[in-house]
Amino acid sequence: MGEIFDINAVFTSIPRLLEVLPVSLQITVISMIVGLVFALLFAVIRMKKIPVLSQLVTVFISFIRGTPIIVQLYLTYNGIPLLLKFINQEYGTDYNINAVPAMLFVLVTFAFNEAAYNSETIRAALQSVNKGQIEAAESLGMTYLQVLKRVIMPQALVVAIPPLGNALIGLLKGTSLAFVAGVIEMTAKGKIISGSNFRFFEVYLALAIIYWVMTIIIEQLLRYMERRFSIPDSAQAVNRGGWFSWGRRGI
């Protein structure tokens, strides 16, 4: 009878799983960056209450937050080919539906999922900035984009870092669902390895260790960023020029 638990299988599985770590990181980084761009856009649209766009964004956010991400993956995986087929029929184009890379489905799904969730975080962070500073900046003739860049964003960033960091950790772990669209990341690789050696517990334990270590690394980076971008107290702000003075010097 073979060993019930083989510790060597854990350590031999780790290097094989790490071979596809770049795939998981690629999904995480690209989805987070694209998601933050759209999240900021959605937050500004809702704050400014732009007609039609604000209502559409609200419905979109509600839909994303109210459905499981695995269902969103299935919708994207089946929806994009249907969209391309419709475009081919209506406009006489010849897009190769089968040539769409599986990674595209994953990136689109995760990016918009992050955008929906992070838009609320960013909106709350933007609204936390003292309105007096915003009014003072506008009285100096700054446009809204200048106020956003020089006054609001530096302060909102400090408020947003912790929840956005948690979202990043959740996104990294959520990449384990990418195999649904046929992308071979770490979890899919673990399924392949465990299916060949039948050491399911050992392989998934190795996978859990890798995710755990990656989470610890991200947490340490977030703590550094919080210290780096922390807002000084009022006395220090006066001595150093403060956040608003920093923005004013950039005029």
CATH of the domain at 61: 1.10.3720.10
In a domain, 61, yes or no: yes
Structural domain that includes position 157? 21-183
Selection from 104, 111, 113 nearest residue 183 by Cα = 104
In a domain, 203, yes or no: no
Cα-trace Rg, the chain: 23
Give the CA dihedral 48, 53, 59, 63, nearest 10 degrees: -100
Confidence of residue 39 (pLDDT cuts 50, 70, 90): very high
- Helix axis angle for 21-48 and 153-174, nearest 10°, is 140
In a domain, 195, yes or no: no
pLDDT of 155 > 70? The answer is: yes
What span, in angstroms and rounded, lies between the C-alpha atoms of 11 and 189?
15
Confidence of residue 231 (pLDDT cuts 50, 70, 90): low
What span, in angstroms and rounded, lies between the C-alpha atoms of 29 and 117?
16
Q: What is the pLDDT of residue 161?
A: 87
Structure tokens at 224: 């550094």
Q: What is the pLDDT of residues 88-130, one digit of tens each?
A: 998 888 888 888 899 999 999 999 999 999 998 998 888 888 8
Q: Position of tokens 């933007």? A: 126
Confidence of residue 235 (pLDDT cuts 50, 70, 90): very low
Interval 166-186 mean pLDDT: 92
In a domain, 241, yes or no: no
Tell me the whole-structure pTM to 2 decimals. Answer: 0.82
Mean pLDDT, the chain, rounded, equals 86
Q: What is the pLDDT of residues 42-100, one digit of tens each?
A: 998 998 889 999 999 999 999 999 999 999 999 999 999 999 999 999 888 888 888 88
Q: Is 186 left (phi over 0), alpha (psi -120 to 50) or beta?
A: alpha
What span, in angstroms and rounded, lies between the C-alpha atoms of 232 and 44?
26
Q: What is the pLDDT of residue 62?
A: 95
Confidence of residue 30 (pLDDT cuts 50, 70, 90): very high
In a domain, 248, yes or no: no
Phi, psi of 13 (to 5 degrees): -80, -30
CA atoms within 13 A on the CB side of 4: 0
Question: In this predicted model, which residue has the larger pLDDT, 153 or 184?
Answer: 184
Q: Are 47 and 127 in contact (CB under 8 A)?
A: yes
Q: What is the pLDDT of residue 232?
A: 57
The strand ranges marked E within 94-192 are none
Domain count across the chain: 1
In a domain, 175, yes or no: yes
In a domain, 86, yes or no: yes
pLDDT of 216 > 60? The answer is: yes
In a domain, 62, yes or no: yes
How much of the chain, in percent, has pLDDT values that exceed 90?
58
Interval 4-23 mean pLDDT: 93
For residue 181, give the DSSP letter: G
In Å, what is the CA distance from 121 to each residue of 166, 167, 210, 220? 11, 10, 28, 21
Q: What is the pLDDT of residue 243?
A: 41
Give the CA dihedral 87, 90, 92, 96, nearest 10 degrees: 30
